[in-house]
Amino acid sequence: MLLDKLWEKGKEFLGIQYPIMSGAMTWISNHKLVSAVSNAGAFGCLAGGNMPPADFAAEIDKTRQLTKNPFAANLITIAPNYQKQLEIVLEKQLPFVIFAGSFPRASEIKRAKSAGTKVLTFASNESIAKRMIDSGVDALILEGSEAGGHIGHVSLIILLQQVLFAFDNVPIFVAGGIATGRLIAHLLLMGAAGIQMGTRFVTTEECEVHPNFKAAFQKARAREAVATPAVGSELHVVAVRAIKNKGMEEFTDLQMELIHKKRKGEITMKEAQFQVENFWIGALRRAVQEGDVERGSLMAGQSVGLVHRIQTLKELFDEIISDAESELQRIYQKLVKI
């Protein structure tokens, strides 16, 4: 297959059959989903979030009990439990770590690599990509603002031109708005080593979220997955993309309340930002585990508009791979006629 040659770099780097990464989603990407993805031949990513260290260590152990294939731990560098989680990853000699939330220190990258762990980080522009590569990361992930959850400001189409086209010395995986094999084919032709999806994995049978959560994804249109507005600039709020509901309206009210309290000196900036993150952690749990799709957080990428049915992981990968290969064959036939 043409596909085998195009994503060979990603396959070799991750050590798996399909260089398709399952993006780490708090409350969703647990040991069951991660091991199922890895057992299906793709690459699972365990969501560290702000999980207590003991629980995080147990999740790694449970994942290893269910799969012998590689997987990664995704660590949020601004989470209170980040340092302890990093120690656990290194102690357990996990083969891959993904730093998210902010950018890791060069010393942390060096520590991970010294322990034999491959390091992946996100890059939101060309200068950050260069800085991360110079710091020794093994691969980059480009995530466009079309993605779900906490997002940056730049769309994937721009990041491809800024970063993917500018560097070829490390594998680069791309994410944000990806849901079809046809698009994957084109991204591989552009030079991507592989891709990452999150939203599409939510609607698999192996993903154990509340049925209401899955149903909301099936019904949603792309335009309903919106980025949260920031009320002013005082809180330095990182935008979150989710399906619009009452919970989003309440987040706007929360920002206004926190700004007033901060101006009165009742809370510090750090306390305000902590309450913002607590809001999202709690709201996401209510939606994912309790099925509160009205006031809970329905974090989803704009690709939710392309997801309308529940599939097994096998069905998902069979469809994506078949569509990607067909698209490559179509492109090849078109080129030979020129």
Residue 124 pLDDT: 85
Output the DSSP codes for 208-274.
---HHHHHHHHH--GGGEEEPPPSSSSS-PPPEEEE-SHHHHHHHHHHHHHHHHHHTTSS-HHHHHH
Q: What is the pTM of this model?
A: 0.94
Residue 118 has pLDDT above 90, yes or no: yes
168, 245: one domain: no
Instruction: Mark whether 215 and 193 lie in a shared domain.
Output: no
Digit-coded pLDDT (tens) for 243-291: 999 998 888 889 999 999 999 999 988 888 888 888 888 999 999 999 9
DSSP string covering 65-126, please? HH--S-EEEEEETTSTTHHHHHHHHHHTT-SEEEEESS---HHHHHHHHHTT-EEEEE-SSH
Whether the pLDDT of residue 167 is over 90: the answer is: yes
- Cα(192)–Cα(188) distance, integer angstroms: 5
H or E element in which residue 197 lies: strand 194-197
pLDDT at 229: 80
> Taking residues 80-106, what's their average pLDDT?
95
Has residue 138 got a pLDDT over 90? yes
CA atoms within 13 A on the CB side of 154: 16
CATH number at residue 68: 3.20.20.70
pLDDT of residue 131 exceeding 90, the answer is yes
Residue 78 has pLDDT above 90, yes or no: no
Nearest CA to 119 among 156, 145, 90, 158?
A: 90
12 near 171, Cβ under 8 Å? no
pLDDT score recorded for residue 51:
93
User: 106 pLDDT exceeds 90?
Assistant: yes
User: Do residues 128 and 261 share a domain?
Assistant: no
Q: Is 193:19 a contact under the CB 8 Å cutoff?
A: yes
Please tell me the predicted confidence (pLDDT) of residue 272: 87
Domain holding 163, by residue range, is: 2-209+309-336
- The answer on 231 and 133 residing in a single domain is no
Domain count, the chain: 2
85/126 same-domain check: yes
Average pLDDT over residues 105-129: 95
The verdict on 284 and 329 lying in the same domain is no
List, for residues 5-15, the tens digit of each pLDDT value.
999 999 999 99
Task: Decide which of 74 and 276 is more confident.
Answer: 74
Are 180 and 232 found together in one domain? no
Q: Please tell me the distance from the alpha carbon of residue 226 to that of residue 214, in angstroms, as a whole number.
A: 18
pLDDT number for residue 222: 97
185 and 255 share a domain? no
Statement to judge: residues 228 and 320 lie in one domain: no
Instruction: Tell me, yes or no, whether 85 and 187 share the same domain.
Output: yes
- pLDDT category of residue 23 using cuts at 50, 70 and 90: very high
The residue-averaged pLDDT of 50-76 equals 97
- Name 204's bridge partners: 311
On the question of pLDDT at 60 being above 80, the answer is yes
Same domain, 221 and 205: no
Banded pLDDT at 129 (limits 50, 70, 90) = very high
Choice among 193-197, 270-274, 292-296 with the minimum mean pLDDT: 270-274
pLDDT higher than threshold 80 for residue 232: no
Q: Residue 330's pLDDT band (boundaries 50, 70, 90)?
A: very high
| Residue closest to 218 by CA, chosen among 234, 229, 202 | 202
Using CA atoms, how far residue 2 sits from 8, 46, 164, in Å, is 10, 30, 21
CA 22 to chain centre: 7
Q: Which residues are paired to 118 by β-bridges? A: 96
Region 299-311 average pLDDT: 96
Q: Are residues 116 and 252 in the same domain?
A: no
